[in-house]
Amino acid sequence: MKTTHHPAVAQLSLPTVLSALGDPVRLRIVRSLADGRELGWGELTVPVGKSTLSHHLKVLRAAGVTRTREEGTRCYVRLRLDDLEQRFPGLMAGVLPAVVAEAGEE
């Protein structure tokens, strides 16, 4: 089984997290995960191909925004809300409402 690297909470960097959140496709992924549920990659509805989705998920994972879990040939993803709150108190509480509100404007 392939091992997926997730940065420890102490390794999370605010510029890296903000950079990862600075892309519309990644924001859409975050919005899909905002309710705290774990979703399979195939459940994410974004207007990009599989390889591009994989890239965006890798950026979010490397920044520490999401956690990926592999189960056989399937991959599941969820937001690391607790870890982000521990490292950057209030960040996601401020970002998520704006992301959800922006979705209503699409």
Q: How confident is the model at residue 1 (pLDDT cuts 50, 70, 90)?
A: very low
The pair phi, psi for residue 55, each rounded to 5°, is -60, -50
pTM above 0.95, yes or no: no
Q: Where are the domains of the chain?
A: 13-103
Strand order in the sheet with 39-40: 39-40, 74-79, 66-71
Q: What is the mean pLDDT of the chain?
A: 89
Reported as a single tens digit per residue, the pLDDT across 42-90 is 899 888 988 999 999 999 999 999 999 998 989 999 999 999 999 999 9
Architecture of the 13-103 domain:
Orthogonal Bundle (1.10)
β-bridge partners, 78: 67
